[in-house]
């Protein structure tokens, strides 16, 4: 019986090591999320893009 107990204990993962890996994973995901949110806050088009004459004329055509 001692052999089986030793085998099971040897195959089990260390809870502290598992917690450390999980924390590292959570921190990595959190950093990636912060970076993604920062990138999403940047404008997709330059300032004044939607005031171009081409865009305004397209709106006038669609309105008719």
CA 20 to CA 16: how far, in whole Å? 6
Question: 21-41 pLDDT, tens per residue?
Answer: 999 999 999 999 999 999 888
Share of the chain above pLDDT 70, in %: 69
Cα first-last separation, the chain: 87
State the residue for tokens 């004459």.
Answer: 53
Domain ranges, ordered by start, for the chain: 1-57
Given CA atoms 41, 46, 51, 56 in this order, what sign does their dihedral have? Answer: negative
| pLDDT mean over 39-49 | 75
* 54 against 7, higher pLDDT: 7
Specify the pTM: 0.52
Mean pLDDT of the chain: 82
Question: 11-25 pLDDT, tens per residue?
Answer: 888 889 999 999 999
């Amino acid at each position: 019986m001692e052999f089986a107990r030793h085998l099971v204990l040897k195959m089990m993962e260390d809870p502290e090591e598992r917690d450390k890996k999980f924390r590292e994973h959570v921190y990595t995901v959190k950093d990636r999320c912060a970076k993604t949110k920062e990138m999403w806050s940047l404008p997709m088009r330059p300032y004044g893009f939607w005031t171009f004459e081409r865009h305004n004329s397209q709106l006038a055509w669609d309105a008719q």
